[in-house]
Homo-oligomer: A and B are copies of this chain.
Amino acid sequence: MRSDLRPFFAPAGVALIGASDNPSKLSHGILRNMLAYGYQGAVYPVNPKNKSIFGLTCYPDIRQVPDPVELAVIIIPAPAVPEALEACGERGIRAAIIISGGFKEVGPEGAALEKRCLEIARKHQMRLIGPNCVGTLDLHTGLNTTFIQGVPAKGGISFVSQSGAVGGGVIDYLRNKGIGFATFASLGNEADVTETDMIEYLATDPNTRVIAAYVESIRDGQRFLRVARTVTRHKPIILLKAGRTEAGARAVSSHTGSLAGANEAYRAAFIQSGVIEVNTVAELFEIATALDTQPLPQGSRVTIITNAGGPAALASDSLAAHGLQLAPLAEHTRQALRAHLNPAAQIDNPIDMLGGAEPPDYAFALTQALQDPNVDAIFIILVPQALVDPAEVARHIVQAAQVATKPILACFMGEYSVGQAREVLHQAGIPMYTFPESAGYVLGAMQRYARWRQYPLAQPIRPEGCQTEEAAAILSQFASRQVLGEAESRLLLAAYGLSLIPGSFARNAEEAIEAAEKLGFPVVMKIVSPQVLHKSDVGGIRLNLRSATEVHQAFDEMMTHLQNQLPHAQLEGVLIEAMAPAGHEVIVGMRRDPNFGPVMMFGLGGIYVELFRDVAFRVAPLTRDDALGMISETRAGRLLSGFRNQPVADLEAILDAILRLSSLALDFPQIQEAEINPLLVRPKGEGALVLDCRILLEHGTANNL
């Protein structure tokens, strides 16, 4: 049941419950805003203490408000909100914004109040925004349910914010800047409507061309992933995620557990869903404006047109830092520029027309660049010169840009002299930035997003031969355990079709010799004990045992040593395994994130995983591209793909191992962490073998000895 959110932005009528005639009250400001921006629907103040406010009849109770009313905005003390909501429900209102604070954010009592509000809303099939929020804004219908002073220009950006303050600050900053908004929504505590609901709604809003969001947490990560993956096929989502600082240390029981934090889950989800993640508020809107007003680039080759070398150098640096190239201009473009521009001008890219460049020079160079098939995007720089009018340059650019099908961005460096030019450019839908460094992150984001749209939208893959029932039986056998060591984990991985290094469990020296003889010498011996997680750290691994005698001796030594060293450990026996063939060691791991579910990790294996942090993450379920992306994101991936004449490794076998482990994690929510380290990768066509592994169950913290 996800009803349409349209009444929050385009209701036929809106009631303000708690409207006040006292200008020092926030509710007064809200009513003023409801009337100030051209909203054509009915506005009804509700307050038993007043007869009329701003000349509008003030109703004592929501039940008495006449039709049409589709939205209630509630700003009364928290304890009174449930009753007001109930009344709204009875009145047939299906959308309410609770501005009031005093709910979940103040403690358990407030949380109970919030829960009641949600129950009342559900009963009446009513959708709620808030509580503890700043309201909504629709620049196209003129609805303004906030008390923020002023609004941005009308345009195609819709901004969803989990912080009302960030919304307010942004609007205060963007007023008069010509950055165009379609809608704004502050979501507060998200008792009902979440960021994902808003994204789903905005995807269908014809006025919204770009969805921008400030997000502190995403509770239903899997749903976000599904929704965002679909929406970004036709509308960009740009997102600023706060709270990247990990609060406190997690209980760490594996490399994956130590490396795959909440941030990694978010980051992976954004990559997998084509969401453009940004680092700052400024980037959020610089990129949003470009996506709102300009076409996507068809490639990564950029031309810089400038009247000064220094700023062009800074722009070039930032382009390179974001994976873009300076376009190699076509010969005819160079000839045309040479013929028309100042003879001292630099007609390579950057096209530096020097300080004397006149408005027609800008128009000429822009026209040439637009026609050049080697050019995918254009970045125009102007530094104020004493004798050139920036606004006139802007007008010439606008004129030349009329036929453009490539993105054009401008940087008029400064502020005092370029205000009028900004107005000219922004009215024509050409974003103008203050500093040349914007070139890189704006065009980089546009180009990555354009590429994302070109990938076909793939489905997650589940490999064949995952024996769920067998795995369930094994897990129920170890239900009381928190940690499954290699011996037990091997059984689960085998059930899901992973290839293991040949080996078997032996309880005593005799069984060990028998196992070794079956495998053929030399063999490896590894301790099996629920208390030993890092076998090599305690002397629980012996390599290259070449005879029955050596196996016997090794067994006795290992047991004696470990009994002395770890008197409380249960030493159940040993694993006897074949010696590993040559190959590269990688790690494949999984950590279950509370918001996103299983987060998969791939990277360079061995004992230095945490030292090198050469790892990549994706949220399961995975598409083939997701899994391939993990590999190619790492240096390990480059190594395996034939770096420095090395033989290409069996990437398909890694892919298969990642997908099998992710299927196991998806099928069994009690698995909290799982780690294959190392997975030994053989040359192409020869597969990959699990050399060691471990699994953590439920809320297990390892008895890490």
Contact = CB atoms under 8 A, between A and B. Distances in A.
Interface string A6-33: 0000000000000000001010010000
A478 B277 CA distance: 56
B173 A414 contact: yes
Given A163-B309, A173-B434, A344-B106, A417 B149 contact: yes
Contacts of A418: 172
A608 to B, nearest CB: 7
A314 B243 CA distance: 7
Interface stretch (A292-300, A382-390, A615-623): A382-390
Interface-central residue, A150, A310, A611, by most chain B CB under 10 Å? A310
A163 B310 contact: yes
Contacts of A638: 611
Interface string A209-238: 000001010000000000000000000000
Contacts of A54: none
Number of copies: 2
A307 interface: yes
B386 A149 contact: yes
A243 B317 contact: yes
Interface string A411-429: 0011111100000000000
Contacts of A82: none
Interface in A384-407: 384-387
Interface stretch (A279-287, A557-565, A669-677): A279-287
A310 B280 contact: no
Contacts of A106: 344
Contacts of A608: 639, 643-644
Interface-central residue, A24, A26, A173, A243, by most chain B CB under 10 Å? A173
A469 interface: no
A635 to B, nearest CB: 5
Contact of A386 (B29, B280, B281, B309): B29
A309 B165 contact: yes
Given A316-B245, A435-B282, A611-B643, A169 B214 contact: no
A308 B165 contact: yes
A281 B175 CA distance: 24
A242 interface: yes
B416 A314 contact: no
A148 interface: yes
Contacts of A317: 242-245
Interface in A413-470: 413-418, 434-437
B635 A310 contact: no
A639 to B, nearest CB: 6
Nearest to A242: B313
A518 to B, nearest CB: 31
A531 to B, nearest CB: 18
A583 to B, nearest CB: 16
A168 interface: yes
A414 B635 CA distance: 42
A645 interface: yes
A314 B165 CA distance: 12
Contacts of A60: none
Contacts of A279: 437
A36 interface: no
A435 B243 contact: no
A479 interface: no
A607 interface: yes
Given A173-B414, A386-B149, A243 B437 contact: no
A355 B165 contact: yes
B281 A169 contact: no
A568 to B, nearest CB: 21
Contacts of A29: 386
Contact of A172 (B165, B173, B240, B414): B414
Interface string A597-628: 00000000001101110100000000000000
A346 B173 CA distance: 26
Contact of A611 (B319, B413, B635): B635
B383 A280 contact: no
Interface string A530-569: 0000000100000000000000000000000000000000
A216 B163 contact: no
A176 interface: yes
B165 A311 contact: yes
Contact of A169 (B243, B413, B610): B413
Given A216-B310, A310-B163, A344-B106, A415 B175 contact: yes
A482 interface: no
Contacts of A645: 537
Nearest to A216: B313
A161 interface: yes
A311 B168 CA distance: 11
Contacts of A164: 308, 310
Contacts of A163: 308-311, 313
B386 A314 contact: no
Contacts of A39: none
Contacts of A170: 413-414
Interface-central residue, A165, A242, A280, A385, by most chain B CB under 10 Å? A165
A641 to B, nearest CB: 11
A607 B166 CA distance: 49
Nearest to A281: B435
Contacts of A437: 279-282
A147 interface: yes
A67 to B, nearest CB: 31
A171 B384 CA distance: 10
Interface string A147-188: 111100000000001111110111111011100000000000
Question: 6 shortest A-B CB distances, which residue pairs?
Answer: A163-B310, A172-B414, A165-B308, A169-B413, A242-B313, A166-B310
Interface of A: 24, 26, 29, 106, 147-150, 161-166, 168-173, 175-177, 214, 216, 240, 242-245, 279-282, 307-311, 313-314, 316-317, 319-321, 344, 355, 383-387, 413-418, 434-437, 537, 607-608, 610-612, 614, 635, 638-639, 643-645
24 contacts: A24-B387, A26-B386, A29-B386, A106-B344, A163-B313, A165-B413, A166-B311, A166-B314, A168-B384, A169-B308, A169-B414, A171-B414, A172-B414, A176-B416, A216-B313, A242-B317, A244-B317, A244-B320, A280-B437, A281-B437, A608-B639, A611-B639, A611-B643, A612-B612
Given A149-B384, A169-B383, 7 more contacts: A165-B311, A166-B308, A169-B413, A172-B414, A281-B436, A608-B643, A612-B635
